[in-house]
A = this chain, B = another copy of it.
């Protein structure tokens, strides 16, 4: 059990004896990409390769083509990992299909690359069938699995779990010790006792029911408000916390943020999930926290902001 598992995975590369990332390392991330991972990675190396996110997970043709190209350059040993959020992507909302998971493992085996599977939301599935983790398909020598208690027990504990190759874990422990000795024993014990005494997955069933309703409501409201507008589309997550909402080219959600604030609504501009200043016409919507009436009102105000901005910029 480690604190904020995934952050520490990446940042361990900051040491003189890097566990993952050197200055000239290459790593694969989705586009859009989870902000926390991307900023930790890019502190160390800018050698990212983008994998476009599709409805059923990242585009694996890109991964295969790029790895082939890197192999031709003789730089395969610079590739440190392929990072992917398998379930209910942040911010994308989509889930990688079983077929893609299997193919990803095959590609990783072929080029002998580590997969880092980040799965913070997997237990928050509201509909559809659970899909085998990439970790299960590829095994612990090929896949490093990151989980967290933040979404199912308490974010304030800052506790995560890393499962994978023994040597990697050992090096992470050493780096963690040099960084801050260890994760607070108090929060570790709290979580451990809770798991001993309670069935965590049974406990979160009411939460899942509530989140499902809110997710469905937000999707319904998006459809009601934007269903007939050309060039507007959004992901339909089967779980997790986020919907990725894409507007026509020309919209700049970063610019729209202030307009939103004036209406007392908040979204995360797409740019925040990009390493190259793209994704400007998308935004991440969260449906978990607001009460249902606020979701209805919020999407209405979002439409107002979009129409206002779109007319001003002659986009609508």
Contacts and interface: CB of A to CB of B under 8 A. Distances in A.
A15 B36 contact: no
Contacts of A183: 158
Nearest to A188: B156
Contacts of A225: none
Interface string A29-40: 000000010011
Interface stretch (A4-12, A63-71, A107-115): A4-12
Contacts of A43: 15-16, 178
A235 interface: no
Interface residues of A, number: 31
Contacts of A157: 184, 186
Contacts of A186: 154, 156-157, 186-187, 190
A3 interface: yes
Interface in A158-194: 158-159, 178-187, 189-190
Contacts of A39: 178
A183 B178 CA distance: 17
A44 interface: yes
A296 interface: no
A182 B150 CA distance: 12
Contact of A184 (B44, B184, B189): B184
B7 A180 contact: yes
A180 B4 contact: yes
A14 interface: yes
A153 to B, nearest CB: 11
A11 B181 CA distance: 12
Nearest to A190: B186
Interface string A173-217: 000001111111111011000000000000000000000000000
A3 B186 CA distance: 13
12 contacts: A3-B184, A4-B181, A11-B180, A15-B43, A16-B43, A36-B181, A40-B178, A158-B181, A159-B184, A184-B184, A184-B187, A186-B187
Interface of A: 3-4, 7-8, 11, 14-16, 36, 39-40, 43-44, 154-159, 178-187, 189-190
Given A14-B14, A186-B190, 5 more contacts: A8-B180, A155-B185, A156-B185, A158-B184, A158-B185
